[in-house]
Structure 1
Amino acid sequence: MAAGVSRLRPRIGLAVMLATLVAPAAAGCVPDNRAAPPRNDDPAVVNPVLPTPQRSPSAQIAATARLVENALVQKGLRVAQAIGPYRPSEPAGLTTAPRAIYQVDLGVADTGYIVIYELLDPTAAGERGREFAAYLGKGFGQTNFPLDAQFALSQSGATLIFTWWSPSRAPDDGQARTAFDTVATIGQPVPVTK
């Protein structure tokens, strides 16, 4: 009998040791629903879809685009909807705003962009314009543009018009400056102070 007891003792010791090691590991595999963050299965909330530029602009954007085009044509410049993708650095309040992207033909693919944002009404456009100007005036808003970038932001009704230019990146300084200055005259200016 004593021999049988002594054989059980090592097995019991081994069982206790295994239980001590396996139990905490197994407990870690069981999800603790009390600590789980709330689930949201709506992908639009988790990853909101950002608007793509409008290929067929709304009536408001089209009206503003005609103002821009007419002013640029009078200066001998051509403008059309941008072919390639473009999205400027912008504050959170504008990330979901409908927009159309235009480009002045300056002879270089990544210059001359004009973004026309559409907002609900002129009051909302004014608020978002001030937010955008503050964003461009300091901090992160400037990091996505060359150091010598100049910004033109204005409001025309319920739309915002945004463009920028950089003397160091412009192939034809005079033509790029003319385009920038012309776009800056359209609508009510929203000052951007760096």
Structure 2
Amino acid sequence: MAAALWDSDVGGEDFSPSATVVPFDPPIPLLRGPVPAGPEDDPSAGPFVLAFNDAASWRSALDATRSKLIEQCEAGARVGCSITASNKCKPPWWKSLIGYTATDFAEREQCEEREMSSCLAVSKEACLHFAKEKCLPPFRDARIAYKSWKGVPLVFAPTIHANSEPICKQEEHSSNSSDSNSEITNYRASVLMEKPA
């Protein structure tokens, strides 16, 4: 009965689920999530800090951001280089008085190819430097959550590997310790970078 109602053409309008339900794209997962602030964090900033889930997600976000910046920078550089090459290789004004020849156009094409090639080579290096400069401060200071922060007080061990989380160990608290309930829930990503800040 219900199906018949959906299929029936009432007043020329289609009220079937396929016509009335609006599909939405699935939500994009957040890059960072809140974790409780640790004893080293500024208490005035609140009880939580935003942190990447692990070192792999931080590294993935850094690589994706860097490559996107380079891609956009190089696209802009191509436009600038084409304008520069066209201006450098255009024939002198008096050539228009005597008329252009096929040789003139061939020379201009070769000139623009040379200028574009050299300009793009310079801009590629500049774009790499630009992306590195823009990514360094936010990703160096980003927080990464410890996988085992819940209920386990952790401290840094002396050894830190470049491509993994810092080695952690359980802190030995004495019964007289005033901060026996404090725990380290996150660490800064600078320890994962080649040159820590």
| Alignment TM-score, normalising by the size of structure 2 | 0.25
**Bigger RCO of structures 1 and 2 (CA < 8 A, at least 6 apart):** 2
| Alignment TM-score, normalising by the size of structure 1 | 0.26
Report which of the two has the higher share of helix.
Answer: 2
Report which of the two has the higher share of strand.
Answer: 1
